[in-house]
Amino acid sequence: MEMTINRNRLFIGSCFALITTAMAFALRAGIMNNLAGKMGLSDTELGWINFMGNFGFPIATLVGGPLYNSLGPRNLGILAFVSHLIGITASILSASFWPLFLSTFFISFGNGTVEAAFNPMIASMYDSNKTVMLNRFHVWFPGGLVIGALIGFALVDSDNWQMKLAFMYIPTLIYGFLFFGQKFPEASGTLSRSNAENFKAIFTSPLYWFMVACMIMTATTELGTQGWVERILGQAGAQPLLVLALVTGLMALGRLFAGPVIHRLNITGVLLGSATISALAIFLMSSATGNIVYLYAILFAIGVCYFWPNMISFVAEYMPKTGALGMSLIGGFGMVGLSIFNPIIGGWLESAKKAQATASGFPIILPMILIVAFGLLFFYMRGKKPVHG
């Protein structure tokens, strides 16, 4: 008797894999002070740890995107699981900069493989409802950040950063269990399964590269602040991990109920509104101190919550000929931009510290550029319909 595909189990397993990815971000953000104290790492060295924590992601998407058509989501899922186990274990055993630097790559590579495997799998399984289901899948990135932030907050007085990282084993083992013995779908629906067609659609489309440039800015706006929340917002007089939990919790709720918002505004309208709200929130947060930071954090959460899933959904809905490769690469490019920006943030923090200046400002120029870019996209895409099977 042929096995049937259990879509619900595969979807839930994918969500736990994304929780692992998110917890890696949150827990790393919450151990920065521990690493600075225990290992004597400078902010610049911490910036390079964050760099490697992001850099494996685009490497994985660059490899996993073209291989999706031949290996499928099952084998890529196994690769993600193994990478996560190696990375978590090696990081916990690290006692100095270089072992931690290298082991962080494996966690990041596993994170990118999760995106390369399960974004196109979900788009294929739910071909007529891609955007809503991708938003529901990406609920669990901010959801995982909330979990990681609350763990970090509960253990804020503990110097045992290894124990904090060990919590990542829980979602990793759960998604490994949920996937074990399951039948996975072949690529189907409107996404192209031809690597040749994928590459041609990507490299001949100015719109795709326009979206790549926007993805770099949306990823840095969203994740560039969250990854450094303990070192940046700590000087604003608010509890940084509570701010992170507040922001990411609201982001999760926003993505869970994304359907009516997207139906009313469509993807491009949502992206334009997100850029506008993000710019306003960052401007207000740049000079805020005390409890008002929490209010502006709510505004920031509303602004950034729809960026990542709807950038990927735009590619799946309007450029299906780019296939799994197109969905993987756009996420990878976003992480490349974020990786490059992380050491810059670290150096900026050190400069601010030496000058005894505030370190609570954010890169407002990026969402300002995005307002213009998404405004142009909104008018360009008027009347164009998504491609469904």
Residues of the chain with pLDDT under 70: 1-2, 187-190, 225-238, 240-241, 286, 342, 345-346, 348-350, 352-361, 363, 388-389
d(CA 344, CA 350): 10
Local structure of residue 2 (DSSP, 8 states): P
Quote the pLDDT of residue 44: 84
Give the predicted TM-score (pTM) of the model.
Answer: 0.86
Q: Within 10 A of 331 (CB to CB), how many other CB atoms are there?
A: 25
Residue in 154, 152, 161, 155 with CA at minimum distance from that of residue 38: 161
Quote the pLDDT of residue 243: 77
Q: Which CATH superfamily is domain 7-380 in?
A: MFS general substrate transporter like domains (1.20.1250.20)
Q: What pLDDT, in 10s, does the model give residues 200-227? A: 999 999 999 999 999 999 998 888 766 6
Quote the pLDDT of residue 29: 78
Quote the pLDDT of residue 359: 46
Residue in 170, 65, 72 with CA at minimum distance from that of residue 115: 65
Q: What pLDDT, in 10s, does the model give residues 97-115? A: 999 999 999 999 999 999 9
d(CA 282, CA 280): 6
d(CA 321, CA 202): 8
Quote the pLDDT of residue 360: 46
